[in-house]
Amino acid sequence: MTQALRRPEAGIAPKDRILVGIDTPDRGVAIGLAERLGDAVGGIKLGMEFFNAQGPDGIRAVAGGRPLFLDLKYHDIPNTVAGAVRSAVAACRPMIINIHAAGGPAMMRAAVAANRETADAEGIARPKLIAVTVLTSLDDADLEAVGQRGPSGEQALRLARLAQDAGCDGVVCSPLEIAAIRAACGPGFALVVPGIRPAGSGDDDQKRVTTPGRAVAAGADWVVIGRPIPQAADPVAAARAIAADIAETAGQGDR
């Protein structure tokens, strides 16, 4: 699984739309799972749990040239986020990296500039810089509790438009917002979608979910799937079943 992560275009293989979330602090476990999955998925997602335990060296060891979604969700003042993006891009060389859209336009513009400048300085392909809209663990009541304007779908769309205006390449959104954001932001705006659960699996701590095939059929470019693959008795078989669901439901994943 050393090929570059493919662009979301007609003809993309269903398996290449799958980014498997490897959420563990254990380097050996993460490396073993990444190697075991091989080319059954399109790439891997490593986030805060692993990064905080193992740092950039651990990220590089697990990625090993595989397409990487570095899921650190930066959210701070513009200068701090710009510095964090520079460090992460230079050290980890991800295909996708994310920030929080709630950090505001200035923060997002600083991250976009830092991403571009670092990629150019390092002589590497520029990662897609995407912004998190509303976490899939939140619902309308949660937004109200923290004083954000809802409903969640309207807030996600509002933040997606803000991210696009700031120069971001796309957003992270729940399955329930895919169609509205796709319609508002167009076909070239990347939609990376967590909250994906195969039919028959539990929702865990996710509140806005759908199946992999339905997400891609609605317009998702990539689906992020955590526990249903790594915690399966046979992770490879689980990944292949998800790819089959995408192929059947979304017509090979083409839009």
Supply the pLDDT for residue 8. Answer: 42
| Spatial separation of the C-alpha atoms in residues 169 and 21, rounded to whole Å | 21
What are the angstrom distances between the C-alpha of 25 and each of 42, 72, 84, 254? 22, 14, 21, 35
For residues 110 and 79, is the Cβ–Cβ distance under 8 A? Answer: yes
Supply the pLDDT for residue 252. Answer: 47
What is the tens place of the pLDDT at every residue in 193-207? Answer: 998 877 655 444 445
Supply the pLDDT for residue 199. Answer: 60
Supply the pLDDT for residue 11. Answer: 65
- Catalytically active residues, by annotation: 73
Supply the pLDDT for residue 209. Answer: 63
For residues 112 and 119, is the Cβ–Cβ distance under 8 A? Answer: no
Supply the pLDDT for residue 179. Answer: 93
Task: Reply yes or no on domain 14-249 having CATH 3.20.20.70.
Answer: yes
* Among 59, 54, 129, 143, CA closest to 96: 129
Query: What is the residue extent of each domain of the chain?
Result: 14-249
Alpha-helical segments (H) within 94-199: 105-122, 140-145, 152-165, 178-185
- Cα 205 from chain centroid (whole Å): 17
Helix 105-122 to helix 152-165 angle, to the nearest 10 degrees? 50
Low-confidence residues in the chain, pLDDT < 50: 1-9, 202-206, 252-255
